[in-house]
Amino acid sequence: MIDLHTHTILSDGTVLPSELVRRAEISGYEAIALTDHVDSGNMEPVLKQVIKVAQDLNRQEKIKVLPGVEITHMPPSLIPDMAKEARKLGAKMVVVHGESPVEPVAPGTNLAALQSDIDILAHPGMIKEKEMRRAKERGIYLELTARRGHCLTNGHLVVLARKYQVGLVINTDAHRPRELFSEDLIKKVGLGAGLTEEELKQVLQNSVELVKKRF
C-alpha cells in the first residue's frame, strides 16, 4: 500500500511524523508521503522538520518516506511560485489542496495548481474539462480521496479522467492513524468511485511509479 497525502502534528494531524510512519509500516505500507498543510508563512520550517525525520527513518526502516507539502488555501496567483519554492527547499512530493466541495477554496486554484510544478492535485471537486486537459498535458495526477466530504466528487473525477485519460492516485488524506489505508478501504474508494477492477490496478500502479520517480 502507498499513501501520498497525509498529515501530522506539523499541521492539523494528531501524531508525530515518526509515529504516523510507524503505524503505516505496521499496517503494511510500502511508502508514505508526509504532506502537511503549508502556506507562505510555514512552508520552510515544516519542510525542514519533515525532511530531517524522513532522512532518519529512511536509514532505519523498510518503508519509504517522502517529505512533502500540501499547499493549502493560498491565492491561486501565488501557487506556482510556492510550488517552485517547495522543490527548492527539498520537497519530494508537492500536493495542492484542490477545490473540494466542502471547503471555501478560492476559484481558480485547480487551474493554477495544474500550471505549476506539482505531483498531485488533491480532491479537485467539480473539476472542469479544460482543467482535465491541462492535467493530461502536464502529467499531473489527480486524487481520489478516502476523506469524508472531499470524496463526494470522486465519481465525477473518474468519469472525466476516463474521458481524458488522466492519471489518478488514491490517497487517504489521513489526519490520524485510524484513517490510514487497509486493502479493503483502497478497494472501496476506487471501485465505489466507479473504477473497474483493471482501472483500479492501474491507479495503484500510478502511485508506485510516482514513488519511483520522487524517492
Tens of pLDDT, residues 165-175: 999 999 999 99
* Angle in degrees, CA 63, 213, 151, rounded to 5: 75
Share of the chain above pLDDT 70, in %: 100
Q: Strand 93-97 and strand 2-3: pairing?
A: unpaired
Mean pLDDT of the chain: 98
Q: Which string of b and e fits 197-215 if b means at least 16 CB within 10 Å?
A: eebbeebbebbeebbeebe
* Residue 61: pLDDT over 90: no
Q: According to the model, what pLDDT value does residue 49 have?
A: 98
Torsion, CA 121, CA 123, CA 133, CA 199, rounded to 10: 100
**What pLDDT was estimated at residue 206?**
98
pLDDT in tens, 33-56: 999 999 999 999 999 999 999 999
User: Looking at the predicted structure, is the pLDDT value of residue 115 above 90?
Assistant: yes
pTM metric for this prediction: 0.97
Please give the average per-residue pLDDT across 119-123, as a whole number.
Answer: 98
Domains observed in the chain? 2-214 (3.20.20.140)
Calculate mean pLDDT across residues 141-168.
98
In this prediction, residue 138 carries a pLDDT of 97
